[in-house]
Amino acid sequence: MNIGNLNKRLAATGLALTLTMAAASAWSQAYPAKPIKLVVGFAAGGSTDIAARQIAKRAGEILGQPMVVDNRPGAASNIAAHEVARAPADGYTLLYMTSTLPVNETLYPKLPFDLVKDFTGVSPTVDIPCVLSVHPSLGVKTVKELISLAKSQPGKISYGSAGSGSGTHLATELFKTMAGIDIFHVPYKGAGPATTDFLGGHVKVLFVCQVSIVKDNVKTGRLVPLAVSSLKRLPNLADIPTMVEAGVPDFEATVWNGILAPTGTPRDVVTKVNAAVAQAVKEQTAPLIETGAYPMYSSADLFTAFVKSEIVRWSSVVKMSGAKPE
């Protein structure tokens, strides 16, 4: 090949690359030019939905365009994840995820998406401890009493969850394994429906992940709180012991939330959304904690690495518990 022609081609390629990068930079600076859809894989009214709406409202204000929550419940948030995985990688369709999705990588034998290959981390948002609660009709007041009753009635006590593979599902499966009991699973399409049926006595055990629900229903006698799922007591529920204090050593299972984007989303866009979400979370620390959601923030890269580490962590729990999708 003629060296002169090669140099011309290299120069043309360099110019094209420069123009492409300049265009991408200008596009990113203009982002967002329209509303952003934030897809939530659980029904409205649960702790995940509430946190997502609080954060989306303020993040949208910071970005200058509405961040609109779109609830797509079902299949432990796999439906929502699949929708976002197929969406254009332009920053206008994002996924509000929970610790459910890393669990699903092991729980479900075949998924229509790959959490590592099809998504990139944008930002963590909150960490939500839950309260192991029982319906008053069960007649127990402590974790030890629940374990004793469950051992005397194997397979007869029901527990609800926000869906197969959800944080509340795996938290209960972990509790079952560590306590050596057998209680049966009734999955719902979100924490809201599960809580409604629990308060109505249709299921007897539930990890409730919303402080206001615990407080309100303790007062009315519709719920008996036994222990919190975090390693430390919650400031808003300081009289409720941790699971460790209640007699289940080393127990910890919280429901963390975060935001993902389709792989290929421009780096500048990811960085811009990350900054807006972090600011929104920091500004709303007090109201978030009031609902039982504890703020989290980090860089997009650190969050991506965290999601990958959670896949490894929960794979052992799923295998140990023998949990299966319903």
| Residue showing tokens 């982002």 | 31
CB within 8 A of 106, min separation 6: which ones? 311, 314, 315, 318, 319
Residue 313: domain span: 35-127+255-321
- Residue 168 forms part of a structural domain: yes
139 and 226 co-located in one domain: yes
Of 205, 237, 269, the position where a domain reaches its end is 237
Is the bond leading into 32 cis (omega within 30 degrees of zero)? yes
Residue 326 has pLDDT above 80, yes or no: no
Total domains in the chain come to 2
- Does residue 186 sit in helix, strand or coil? strand
Residue 1's pLDDT band (boundaries 50, 70, 90)? very low
Task: Write down the pLDDT at residue 67.
Answer: 98
Alpha-carbon gap, residue 291 to 213, rounded angstroms: 9
Q: What does the block give as tokens for 42?
A: 């659980």
Chain centre to alpha carbon of residue 198: 21
Q: Contact at 8 Å (CB) between 298 and 271?
A: no
Of 207, 237, 267, the position where a domain reaches its end is 237
* Phi and psi torsions of 133, nearest 5°: -130, 155
41 and 119 co-located in one domain: yes
> Domain holding 233: CATH number?
3.40.190.10
- Residue 22 forms part of a structural domain: no
> Domain holding 61: CATH number?
3.40.190.150
Least confident of 22-31, 36-45, 75-84, 315-324: 22-31
Residue 45's pLDDT band (boundaries 50, 70, 90)? confident
User: Global pTM?
Assistant: 0.77
Average pLDDT over the chain reads: 89
Mean pLDDT throughout 86-103? 96
76 and 217 co-located in one domain: no
Task: Write down the pLDDT at residue 215.
Answer: 92
Task: Write down the pLDDT at residue 12.
Answer: 54
Sign of CA dihedral 293, 297, 300, 303: negative
Of 206, 237, 268, the position where a domain reaches its end is 237
- Residue 266 forms part of a structural domain: yes
Type of residue at 38? L
Residue 217 has pLDDT above 60, yes or no: yes
Mean pLDDT throughout 74-100? 95
pLDDT tens digit string along 243-282? 999 999 999 998 899 999 999 999 999 999 999 999 999 9
- Residue 308 forms part of a structural domain: yes
- Residue 27 forms part of a structural domain: no
Q: Which residue(s) pair with 123 in the sheet?
A: 259
DSSP 236: G
- Residue 11 forms part of a structural domain: no
Alpha-carbon gap, residue 25 to 92, rounded angstroms: 16
Alpha-carbon gap, residue 284 to 123, rounded angstroms: 16
Mean pLDDT throughout 31-48? 92
pLDDT tens digit string along 274-294? 999 999 999 999 999 888 889
Task: Write down the pLDDT at residue 28.
Answer: 54
